Amino acid sequence: MIKKPSSEFVIDGVEIHRGQTVRINIDMGSIYDFTDVKMPVEVIRGQEDGPTLFVSSTIHGDEINGIEIIKRLLASRALKKICGTLIVIPIVNIFGFNDRTRYLPDRRDLNRCFPGSKNGSLTSQLAYKFMQEIALKSDFGIDLHTGAFHRCNHPQIRANIYDKFTLDLAKAFGAPVIIGSNLRDGSLREAVSQANIPMILYEVGEALRFDESGIEIGVNGILNVMREIGMIKSAKLTKSKKEVFVARSSSWVRAPRSGIHIVRQKLGKLVKKGETLGEISNPFGDHKILVKAHQSGKIIGISMLPLANKGDALFHIASLNAELEISGEAQAIEDLSNNDPVNSRYPKHEF
Ligand SMILES: [Zn+2]
Protein backbone atom coordinates (compact mmCIF):
# COMPACT_ATOMS: atom_id res chain seq x y z
CA MET A 1 0.00 0.00 0.00
CA ILE A 2 1.09 3.55 -0.51
CA LYS A 3 1.44 4.96 2.94
CA LYS A 4 -0.03 8.44 2.33
CA PRO A 5 -0.57 8.92 -1.39
CA SER A 6 -2.45 12.15 -1.56
CA SER A 7 -2.11 13.69 1.85
CA GLU A 8 0.82 14.95 3.83
CA PHE A 9 4.21 13.26 3.70
CA VAL A 10 6.36 14.08 6.70
CA ILE A 11 9.90 13.03 7.57
CA ASP A 12 11.42 14.05 10.90
CA GLY A 13 8.77 16.74 11.30
CA VAL A 14 9.35 18.27 7.84
CA GLU A 15 6.41 18.15 5.42
CA ILE A 16 7.15 17.48 1.75
CA HIS A 17 4.49 18.65 -0.68
CA ARG A 18 3.82 17.34 -4.18
CA GLY A 19 6.38 18.56 -6.70
CA GLN A 20 8.90 19.43 -3.97
CA THR A 21 12.48 18.28 -3.51
CA VAL A 22 13.56 18.75 0.08
CA ARG A 23 16.82 18.00 1.84
CA ILE A 24 16.37 17.10 5.49
CA ASN A 25 19.05 16.64 8.12
CA ILE A 26 17.58 14.02 10.43
CA ASP A 27 18.67 14.61 14.01
CA MET A 28 20.85 11.77 15.34
CA GLY A 29 21.82 13.30 18.68
CA SER A 30 25.30 14.55 19.47
CA ILE A 31 28.86 13.32 20.05
CA TYR A 32 31.22 13.76 23.03
CA ASP A 33 31.95 17.44 22.36
CA PHE A 34 28.22 18.22 22.01
CA THR A 35 28.47 18.60 18.22
CA ASP A 36 25.12 17.69 16.65
CA VAL A 37 25.09 14.65 14.35
CA LYS A 38 22.72 14.67 11.38
CA MET A 39 21.81 12.09 8.75
CA PRO A 40 21.28 13.96 5.44
CA VAL A 41 18.33 12.73 3.38
CA GLU A 42 16.85 14.01 0.12
CA VAL A 43 13.17 13.52 -0.62
CA ILE A 44 11.86 13.99 -4.16
CA ARG A 45 8.07 13.98 -4.29
CA GLY A 46 6.52 13.94 -7.77
CA GLN A 47 3.42 15.84 -8.82
CA GLU A 48 1.61 12.56 -9.43
CA ASP A 49 0.91 9.90 -6.82
CA GLY A 50 2.82 6.64 -6.89
CA PRO A 51 4.88 4.41 -4.62
CA THR A 52 7.48 5.54 -2.13
CA LEU A 53 10.94 4.06 -2.65
CA PHE A 54 13.92 4.48 -0.34
CA VAL A 55 17.49 4.05 -1.59
CA SER A 56 19.99 3.79 1.24
CA SER A 57 23.77 3.46 1.28
CA THR A 58 26.66 3.08 3.70
CA ILE A 59 24.92 1.26 6.52
CA HIS A 60 28.48 -0.03 6.86
CA GLY A 61 30.55 3.15 7.15
CA ASP A 62 33.41 2.09 4.84
CA GLU A 63 31.17 0.89 1.96
CA ILE A 64 31.12 3.95 -0.26
CA ASN A 65 30.15 2.86 -3.81
CA GLY A 66 26.50 3.59 -3.00
CA ILE A 67 27.30 7.22 -2.20
CA GLU A 68 28.57 7.75 -5.75
CA ILE A 69 25.60 5.77 -7.14
CA ILE A 70 23.16 8.09 -5.34
CA LYS A 71 25.14 11.21 -6.42
CA ARG A 72 24.81 10.17 -10.07
CA LEU A 73 21.20 9.06 -9.65
CA LEU A 74 20.27 12.53 -8.40
CA ALA A 75 21.83 14.04 -11.55
CA SER A 76 19.61 11.86 -13.78
CA ARG A 77 17.07 13.72 -15.94
CA ALA A 78 14.65 10.83 -15.36
CA LEU A 79 14.04 12.14 -11.83
CA LYS A 80 12.62 15.43 -13.11
CA LYS A 81 9.19 13.87 -13.52
CA ILE A 82 8.46 10.98 -11.19
CA CYS A 83 5.25 9.50 -9.83
CA GLY A 84 5.39 8.98 -6.08
CA THR A 85 8.25 9.73 -3.75
CA LEU A 86 11.95 8.87 -3.81
CA ILE A 87 13.90 9.06 -0.54
CA VAL A 88 17.69 8.82 -0.85
CA ILE A 89 20.03 8.40 2.10
CA PRO A 90 23.65 8.44 0.84
CA ILE A 91 25.19 7.79 4.28
CA VAL A 92 23.12 5.96 6.88
CA ASN A 93 26.03 5.21 9.24
CA ILE A 94 27.36 8.77 9.50
CA PHE A 95 29.46 7.85 12.54
CA GLY A 96 31.34 5.00 10.83
CA PHE A 97 31.68 6.88 7.54
CA ASN A 98 33.57 9.77 9.13
CA ASP A 99 35.89 7.27 10.84
CA ARG A 100 36.21 5.15 7.64
CA THR A 101 35.03 2.11 9.55
CA ARG A 102 32.21 -0.41 9.15
CA TYR A 103 31.00 0.00 12.73
CA LEU A 104 29.65 2.66 15.06
CA PRO A 105 31.49 4.12 18.06
CA ASP A 106 29.84 1.52 20.32
CA ARG A 107 31.53 -1.17 18.14
CA ARG A 108 28.22 -2.50 16.87
CA ASP A 109 27.30 -3.46 13.30
CA LEU A 110 24.23 -1.40 12.31
CA ASN A 111 23.02 -4.17 10.00
CA ARG A 112 22.63 -6.50 12.98
CA CYS A 113 20.64 -4.00 15.09
CA PHE A 114 17.40 -3.45 13.11
CA PRO A 115 14.62 -2.64 13.86
CA GLY A 116 16.38 -0.95 16.76
CA SER A 117 14.87 0.73 19.78
CA LYS A 118 14.28 4.32 20.86
CA ASN A 119 16.16 3.97 24.12
CA GLY A 120 18.72 1.34 23.15
CA SER A 121 22.43 1.63 22.33
CA LEU A 122 23.65 4.36 19.95
CA THR A 123 23.47 1.88 17.04
CA SER A 124 20.02 0.69 18.08
CA GLN A 125 18.75 4.29 18.21
CA LEU A 126 20.05 4.96 14.69
CA ALA A 127 18.38 1.78 13.41
CA TYR A 128 15.11 2.78 15.11
CA LYS A 129 15.13 6.28 13.65
CA PHE A 130 15.86 4.91 10.16
CA MET A 131 13.00 2.42 10.45
CA GLN A 132 10.49 4.97 11.76
CA GLU A 133 11.36 7.93 9.54
CA ILE A 134 12.36 6.18 6.30
CA ALA A 135 11.73 2.45 5.89
CA LEU A 136 8.24 2.21 7.38
CA LYS A 137 7.10 5.19 5.29
CA SER A 138 8.19 3.42 2.09
CA ASP A 139 6.61 0.79 -0.17
CA PHE A 140 9.90 -0.53 -1.59
CA GLY A 141 13.57 -0.33 -0.70
CA ILE A 142 17.01 -0.68 -2.27
CA ASP A 143 20.00 -0.91 0.07
CA LEU A 144 23.47 -0.35 -1.41
CA HIS A 145 26.51 -2.22 -0.07
CA THR A 146 30.14 -2.93 -0.93
CA GLY A 147 32.38 -5.90 -0.14
CA ALA A 148 33.92 -5.91 3.33
CA PHE A 149 37.47 -4.69 4.00
CA HIS A 150 39.94 -6.44 1.59
CA ARG A 151 37.11 -8.24 -0.19
CA CYS A 152 35.86 -7.36 -3.67
CA ASN A 153 32.37 -8.27 -4.86
CA HIS A 154 31.16 -8.87 -8.40
CA PRO A 155 28.00 -6.73 -9.02
CA GLN A 156 25.15 -8.71 -7.44
CA ILE A 157 21.66 -8.41 -6.03
CA ARG A 158 20.84 -10.24 -2.82
CA ALA A 159 17.16 -10.79 -2.26
CA ASN A 160 14.45 -13.15 -1.16
CA ILE A 161 14.03 -14.84 -4.56
CA TYR A 162 11.16 -16.97 -3.21
CA ASP A 163 8.96 -13.87 -2.91
CA LYS A 164 7.64 -13.09 -6.40
CA PHE A 165 7.50 -9.32 -5.90
CA THR A 166 11.02 -9.15 -4.55
CA LEU A 167 12.32 -11.40 -7.35
CA ASP A 168 10.66 -9.10 -9.91
CA LEU A 169 12.47 -6.12 -8.41
CA ALA A 170 15.74 -8.06 -8.43
CA LYS A 171 15.34 -9.02 -12.09
CA ALA A 172 14.30 -5.49 -13.05
CA PHE A 173 17.50 -4.07 -11.50
CA GLY A 174 19.58 -5.78 -14.18
CA ALA A 175 22.75 -6.73 -12.24
CA PRO A 176 24.62 -9.73 -13.71
CA VAL A 177 24.02 -11.92 -10.64
CA ILE A 178 21.07 -12.46 -8.27
CA ILE A 179 21.68 -14.44 -5.09
CA GLY A 180 18.87 -15.86 -3.02
CA SER A 181 20.47 -15.15 0.33
CA ASN A 182 19.05 -15.87 3.77
CA LEU A 183 17.88 -13.05 5.99
CA ARG A 184 20.32 -12.25 8.77
CA ASP A 185 19.04 -11.56 12.26
CA GLY A 186 18.92 -7.81 12.86
CA SER A 187 19.49 -6.84 9.23
CA LEU A 188 17.53 -4.05 7.57
CA ARG A 189 16.35 -6.63 5.03
CA GLU A 190 14.85 -8.78 7.80
CA ALA A 191 13.18 -5.79 9.49
CA VAL A 192 11.55 -4.47 6.31
CA SER A 193 10.47 -7.95 5.20
CA GLN A 194 8.63 -8.33 8.52
CA ALA A 195 6.87 -5.07 7.66
CA ASN A 196 5.98 -6.58 4.25
CA ILE A 197 8.10 -4.08 2.29
CA PRO A 198 9.95 -5.69 -0.66
CA MET A 199 13.63 -4.74 -0.55
CA ILE A 200 16.67 -5.73 -2.58
CA LEU A 201 20.31 -5.31 -1.66
CA TYR A 202 22.94 -4.38 -4.27
CA GLU A 203 26.56 -5.31 -3.56
CA VAL A 204 29.56 -4.21 -5.61
CA GLY A 205 33.30 -3.68 -5.28
CA GLU A 206 35.47 -3.26 -2.23
CA ALA A 207 35.36 -1.14 0.94
CA LEU A 208 36.82 2.38 0.61
CA ARG A 209 37.16 2.10 -3.19
CA PHE A 210 35.00 3.16 -6.13
CA ASP A 211 34.14 0.55 -8.78
CA GLU A 212 33.27 2.45 -11.95
CA SER A 213 31.37 -0.23 -13.88
CA GLY A 214 29.56 -1.36 -10.73
CA ILE A 215 28.51 2.23 -10.02
CA GLU A 216 27.06 2.53 -13.54
CA ILE A 217 25.15 -0.75 -13.11
CA GLY A 218 23.85 0.58 -9.79
CA VAL A 219 22.57 3.87 -11.21
CA ASN A 220 20.84 2.14 -14.13
CA GLY A 221 19.53 -0.56 -11.79
CA ILE A 222 17.74 1.93 -9.53
CA LEU A 223 16.18 3.66 -12.56
CA ASN A 224 15.11 0.23 -13.88
CA VAL A 225 13.41 -0.59 -10.57
CA MET A 226 11.68 2.82 -10.56
CA ARG A 227 10.39 2.01 -14.04
CA GLU A 228 9.25 -1.45 -12.90
CA ILE A 229 7.18 -0.02 -10.02
CA GLY A 230 5.70 2.79 -12.10
CA MET A 231 7.66 5.76 -10.74
CA ILE A 232 9.16 6.54 -14.14
CA LYS A 233 6.97 6.28 -17.20
CA SER A 234 9.22 5.29 -20.06
CA ALA A 235 9.33 2.35 -22.41
CA LYS A 236 13.08 2.73 -22.77
CA LEU A 237 15.00 -0.02 -21.06
CA THR A 238 18.58 0.52 -20.00
CA LYS A 239 19.07 -2.93 -18.54
CA SER A 240 21.93 -5.09 -19.64
CA LYS A 241 21.36 -7.54 -22.46
CA LYS A 242 23.83 -9.91 -20.84
CA GLU A 243 22.76 -13.08 -19.11
CA VAL A 244 21.52 -12.83 -15.53
CA PHE A 245 22.84 -15.57 -13.26
CA VAL A 246 20.36 -16.47 -10.52
CA ALA A 247 21.64 -18.69 -7.71
CA ARG A 248 19.80 -20.17 -4.77
CA SER A 249 22.87 -20.14 -2.55
CA SER A 250 26.55 -19.29 -2.29
CA SER A 251 29.49 -20.37 -0.14
CA TRP A 252 33.14 -19.53 0.50
CA VAL A 253 36.24 -21.51 -0.44
CA ARG A 254 38.59 -21.25 2.53
CA ALA A 255 42.38 -21.31 2.68
CA PRO A 256 43.65 -24.92 3.05
CA ARG A 257 46.77 -23.61 4.84
CA SER A 258 48.37 -20.33 5.95
CA GLY A 259 50.77 -18.49 3.65
CA ILE A 260 51.11 -16.07 0.73
CA HIS A 261 48.05 -16.27 -1.53
CA ILE A 262 48.09 -15.56 -5.27
CA VAL A 263 44.70 -15.25 -7.01
CA ARG A 264 44.51 -17.15 -10.32
CA GLN A 265 40.93 -16.28 -11.33
CA LYS A 266 38.80 -13.21 -11.94
CA LEU A 267 35.52 -11.99 -10.48
CA GLY A 268 32.50 -13.09 -12.49
CA LYS A 269 34.25 -16.18 -13.92
CA LEU A 270 32.31 -19.44 -14.15
CA VAL A 271 34.40 -22.24 -12.67
CA LYS A 272 34.02 -26.00 -12.45
CA LYS A 273 34.34 -28.07 -9.28
CA GLY A 274 38.03 -28.86 -8.74
CA GLU A 275 39.30 -25.97 -10.91
CA THR A 276 42.28 -24.02 -9.55
CA LEU A 277 41.36 -20.64 -8.06
CA GLY A 278 44.61 -19.63 -6.42
CA GLU A 279 47.81 -20.91 -4.83
CA ILE A 280 49.37 -20.58 -1.41
CA SER A 281 53.08 -20.91 -0.68
CA ASN A 282 55.61 -19.88 1.94
CA PRO A 283 57.63 -16.64 1.43
CA PHE A 284 60.34 -18.60 -0.50
CA GLY A 285 57.81 -20.06 -2.95
CA ASP A 286 58.09 -23.56 -1.45
CA HIS A 287 55.38 -25.88 -0.22
CA LYS A 288 52.97 -24.65 -2.86
CA ILE A 289 49.38 -25.78 -2.45
CA LEU A 290 46.53 -25.11 -4.86
CA VAL A 291 43.23 -23.59 -3.78
CA LYS A 292 40.47 -25.40 -5.69
CA ALA A 293 36.77 -24.77 -6.27
CA HIS A 294 34.67 -26.99 -3.98
CA GLN A 295 31.67 -26.65 -6.31
CA SER A 296 30.85 -25.39 -9.80
CA GLY A 297 29.55 -21.84 -10.00
CA LYS A 298 30.34 -18.19 -10.53
CA ILE A 299 32.98 -16.30 -8.55
CA ILE A 300 31.10 -13.41 -6.89
CA GLY A 301 33.65 -12.38 -4.27
CA ILE A 302 37.45 -12.55 -3.84
CA SER A 303 39.72 -11.76 -0.90
CA MET A 304 42.12 -9.06 -2.15
CA LEU A 305 44.57 -9.55 0.74
CA PRO A 306 47.45 -11.73 -0.52
CA LEU A 307 48.00 -13.12 2.99
CA ALA A 308 45.91 -15.97 4.29
CA ASN A 309 45.56 -17.93 7.48
CA LYS A 310 44.23 -21.46 7.26
CA GLY A 311 40.44 -21.16 7.16
CA ASP A 312 40.31 -17.60 5.82
CA ALA A 313 37.53 -17.02 3.27
CA LEU A 314 39.20 -16.55 -0.15
CA PHE A 315 36.65 -17.08 -2.95
CA HIS A 316 32.88 -16.64 -2.75
CA ILE A 317 31.11 -18.92 -5.22
CA ALA A 318 27.46 -18.69 -6.24
CA SER A 319 26.09 -22.18 -6.91
CA LEU A 320 25.52 -23.13 -10.51
CA ASN A 321 21.87 -24.01 -10.95
CA ALA A 322 20.98 -24.26 -14.61
CA GLU A 323 17.21 -24.11 -14.34
CA LEU A 324 17.42 -20.80 -12.56
CA GLU A 325 19.49 -19.07 -15.22
CA ILE A 326 17.50 -16.55 -17.22
CA SER A 327 18.44 -14.53 -20.22
CA GLY A 328 18.53 -10.76 -19.72
CA GLU A 329 17.37 -10.28 -23.28
CA ALA A 330 14.38 -12.58 -22.84
CA GLN A 331 13.52 -10.75 -19.63
CA ALA A 332 13.61 -7.36 -21.39
CA ILE A 333 11.21 -8.58 -24.07
CA GLU A 334 8.90 -9.96 -21.41
CA ASP A 335 8.91 -6.61 -19.57
CA LEU A 336 8.12 -4.62 -22.69
CA SER A 337 5.16 -6.85 -23.47
CA ASN A 338 3.87 -6.61 -19.92
CA ASN A 339 1.49 -3.66 -20.03
CA ASP A 340 -0.40 -4.60 -16.88
CA PRO A 341 -0.76 -1.75 -14.46
CA VAL A 342 1.78 -1.97 -11.66
CA ASN A 343 -1.11 -2.58 -9.28
CA SER A 344 -1.90 -5.97 -10.76
CA ARG A 345 1.71 -7.08 -10.56
CA TYR A 346 2.11 -5.96 -6.94
CA PRO A 347 -1.28 -6.81 -5.42
CA LYS A 348 0.01 -6.31 -1.91
CA HIS A 349 0.70 -2.70 -2.87
CA GLU A 350 -2.37 -0.77 -3.90
CA PHE A 351 -1.59 1.96 -6.39
ZN1 LIG B 1 27.63 -3.91 3.90
d(CA 84, ligand 1 centre) in Å: 28
Q: How far is 112 from 255, CA to CA, in rounded Å?
A: 27
Q: How far is 223 from 321, CA to CA, in rounded Å?
A: 28
Confidence of residue 11 (pLDDT cuts 50, 70, 90): very high
d(CA 170, ligand 1 centre) in Å: 18
d(CA 59, ligand 1 centre) in Å: 6
Q: Are 27 and 11 in contact (CB under 8 A)?
A: no
β-strand 140-145 against 36-45: which pairing, if any? unpaired
Supply the pLDDT for residue 324: 47
Does pLDDT of 350 surpass 90?
no
d(CA 204, ligand 1 centre) in Å: 10
Rounded mean pLDDT of 162-181?
94
d(CA 62, ligand 1 centre) in Å: 8
Rounded mean pLDDT of 15-19?
97
d(CA 335, ligand 1 centre) in Å: 30
Supply the pLDDT for residue 55: 98
d(CA 49, ligand 1 centre) in Å: 32
d(CA 315, ligand 1 centre) in Å: 17
At 74, give phi and psi (nearest 5°): -65, -20
Does pLDDT of 320 surpass 90?
no
Q: How far is 174 from 335, CA to CA, in rounded Å?
A: 12
d(CA 44, ligand 1 centre) in Å: 25
d(CA 233, ligand 1 centre) in Å: 31
d(CA 144, ligand 1 centre) in Å: 8
From the list 275, 329, 331, 325, the residue with the least C-alpha distance to 299 is 275
Confidence of residue 327 (pLDDT cuts 50, 70, 90): very low
Q: Write down the mean pLDDT value for the chain.
A: 89
Q: How far is 1 from 85, CA to CA, in rounded Å?
A: 13
Supply the pLDDT for residue 345: 41
Q: Are 90 and 144 in contact (CB under 8 A)?
A: no
Cα of 319 vs its chain's centroid, Å: 20
Rounded mean pLDDT of 330-346?
35
Does pLDDT of 36 surpass 50?
yes
Supply the pLDDT for residue 236: 59
Confidence of residue 1 (pLDDT cuts 50, 70, 90): low
d(CA 108, ligand 1 centre) in Å: 13
* Model pLDDT for residues 53-112, shown as the tens digit of each residue: 999 999 999 999 999 999 999 999 999 999 999 999 999 999 999 999 999 999 999 999
d(CA 297, ligand 1 centre) in Å: 23
**Long-range CB contacts for residues 285-289, cutoff 8 Å, separation at least 24:** 287/259, 289/256, 289/257, 289/259
User: Alpha helix locations (H) across the chain?
Assistant: 65-74, 94-98, 122-133, 164-173, 188-194, 212-228, 328-337, 342-345
Supply the pLDDT for residue 234: 74
Rounded mean pLDDT of 151-165?
94
Supply the pLDDT for residue 76: 97
* Model pLDDT for residues 230-256, shown as the tens digit of each residue: 999 876 555 556 778 999 989 999 999
Name the percent of the chain lying above pLDDT 70: 87
d(CA 148, ligand 1 centre) in Å: 7
On the 0-12 / 13-18 / 19+ scale of CB atoms within 10 A, 308 is: buried
Q: How far is 335 from 58, CA to CA, in rounded Å?
A: 31
Which strand (E) or helix (H) includes residue 144?
strand 140-145
Does pLDDT of 305 surpass 80?
yes
Does pLDDT of 3 surpass 70?
no
d(CA 171, ligand 1 centre) in Å: 21
From the list 61, 63, 58, the residue with the least C-alpha distance to 207 is 63
Supply the pLDDT for residue 332: 30
d(CA 63, ligand 1 centre) in Å: 6
* Model pLDDT for residues 187-211, shown as the tens digit of each residue: 999 999 999 999 999 999 999 999 9
Q: ω into residue 115 within 30 of 0, thus cis? A: yes
Give the type of residue at 118: K
CB hemisphere CA count around 325 (13 angstroms): 12
d(CA 145, ligand 1 centre) in Å: 4
Q: What is the largest CA-CA distance in the chain?
A: 71
From the list 184, 130, 175, the residue with the least C-alpha distance to 153 is 175
Q: Over the range 98-134, which residues count as b (16 or more CB within 10 Å of their CB) and which as e?
A: eeebbbbeeebbbbebbbbeeeeebbbbbbbbbbebb
d(CA 114, ligand 1 centre) in Å: 14
Least confident of 143-147, 308-312, 336-340: 336-340
d(CA 217, ligand 1 centre) in Å: 17
Q: How far is 269 from 267, CA to CA, in rounded Å?
A: 6
Rounded mean pLDDT of 35-39?
95
d(CA 294, ligand 1 centre) in Å: 25
Higher pLDDT, 347 or 37: 37
Least confident of 2-6, 29-33, 56-60: 2-6
